[in-house]
Every structure is written in C-alpha cells, then in structure tokens.
Amino acid sequence: MDQVDIDVVAEADLEDPLLVEGLPGVGHVGKLAAQHLVQELDGEPVRRVYTPDFPPQVTVEDDGTTELTHATFHAVDAGDRDLLVLTGDHQAQSNDGHYRLAEALLDVAEEFGVERVFALGGVPTGELVEEPSVLGAATTEAFVEDLESIGVEFRENEPAGGIVGVSGLLLGLGERRGIDGACLMGETSGYLVDPKSGQAVLEVLEEYAGFEVDYGDLEDRAEEMEEVVGKIREMEQQAATNVQSDDDLRYIG
C-alpha cells in the first residue's frame, strides 16, 4: 500500500462545496454530527481513503464481512450548498501520520473545488452540560466575525491546548494552501458520547450553510445517553452511601 491510497467510489460534480470533517474526537461530537448529516441528507460515498497511518485493522460488519479501516468522503446535496462530508472511525496513529493524512484529505478536497473547511468536534468541560454552547476558532478574522454573528462563541484562551489532530491540521495546513477553515466545538463533558452536543454543532452549520435536517434520530440517541447518565449517577450515589457506612464500621473499633 502506498502512503495513502484513494479509491474513487463515484464521481460527483459539486459546486463550491464546504468540506465538513467529523473524525472521532472528544465525545465523538464531530463524528456524530457528520454521520447524521450524511444519513439525513442521503450522502453518497465518493472517495475512500486508506493509509498505514490508520490502525492495522478490519471492522466486522453485521453480515460477517470485513472492511479495511478507512475514511470516507460523501457528496451531500444540502440545498443551497453542496457539502463534502468526511467520516471515519480513526485519527492517524502517529505524530507525522496526522500531517500526512491531513495533506491527503486536503488534496481530495481541492480536487472537488473546496475553498472552505469546517472541522467539527467537541471541547471538554469536565462536567455534564445541559445546554451546550458551540465554541469556534477560524483561520481568518473575517471568518471569526461570520461565525460570531450566528451565535458561535469565541473565548479567550479556549480551547487552552489549541486544536489537535486532523481537525487542527485541516485548518493549519489548509490555510497554507489558501483554504479558509473553521473549527466548531460543542461543549461536552469529555466522558461520554454526546449526541446533544453534536446537534448543537450541526445547528450552527445549518445556519451558516442554509440547509435543514431533522434531528429526531440524534434526539433519540441523546435521550438514551441521558438514561445511561441517570443510571451512572444512581450507582455513584449508592457507592458513596456504601463507602460512608463502611467508614462508619471502620471507625467503630
């Protein structure tokens, strides 16, 4: 296998498309958002990206067949705007692998005429968030202003550690090619998969790009997660009670 292998799955003629990236990350916020977009707007796979920078792994599908690890570009007709949506199960597995992968993804994006990139992700808050805000960062001041005007928050020193992985490099390396980029980061605890934060991020993109999607499916998944959270809290309270009574015992003697 070459350093990066691009399979042409289908051709698509996209007009001034936005690249939307949703690889795994904090709370799987970006991945959930991108997958939802592809599912609700009937995205069509157009390119598959294989590389030794992904883990040496096949996934096993429900019918027992295997798939070599890859990332997929989907052509999505979002009404006013065409989107090129990138989904996948993995980030690159090494420091310089992230650079190689991001460059290869930008090559594909340029082939489709992409001039603007949205990297979707989460920003960890350390606690459960009822109403997640969406934080932003962008390659140009003009882009920052565009996003501020539709409710994206920009906070000094956030995210403190910068933006890492493919999301960060699509902005950083994209800018060096003349591609504008923004990162939309939904607030999320950092401990759990977070469909609600994914929805918050998508709603910003919806407003920016002028499309509409149904959120029923993400809302169902958010409810499931809330049940999980509820159970975890119950267990924690019970555990706390047990520890207390155990301590009581210990201090009796």
Q: Decide if 185 contacts 201 (C-beta within 8 A).
A: yes
Q: Helix (H, G, I), strand (E, B), or coil: what is residue 51?
A: coil
Q: Does 1 bind its own copies (CB under 8 A)?
A: yes
Q: Which of 42, 107, 111, 140 touches its own copies by CB under 8 A?
A: 140
Which residues, 26 to 55, sit near its own copies by CB under 8 A? 50, 52-53, 55
The residue to which tokens 């009404």 are assigned: 79
Q: Does 158 bind its own copies (CB under 8 A)?
A: yes
Is the bond preceding 195 in cis, omega lying within 30 degrees of 0?
no
Q: What is the DSSP string of 195-213?
A: HHHHHHHHHHHHHHHT---
Pick 103 or 217: Cβ nearer its own copies: 103
Interface region with its own copies, contact rule CB under 8 A, candidates 63-71, 79-87, 199-207, 213-221? 63-71
In single-letter form, the type of residue at position 127 comes to E
How far apart, in whole angstroms, are the C-alpha atoms of residue 205 and residue 8? 27
- The DSSP code for 153 is B
Which residues, 176 to 235, sit near its own copies by CB under 8 A? 176, 181, 183
Residues that bind its own copies (CB under 8 A): 1, 5, 50, 52-53, 55-60, 62-69, 92-100, 102-103, 136-141, 144, 148, 154, 156-159, 161-166, 168-169, 171-173, 175-176, 181, 183, 251, 253
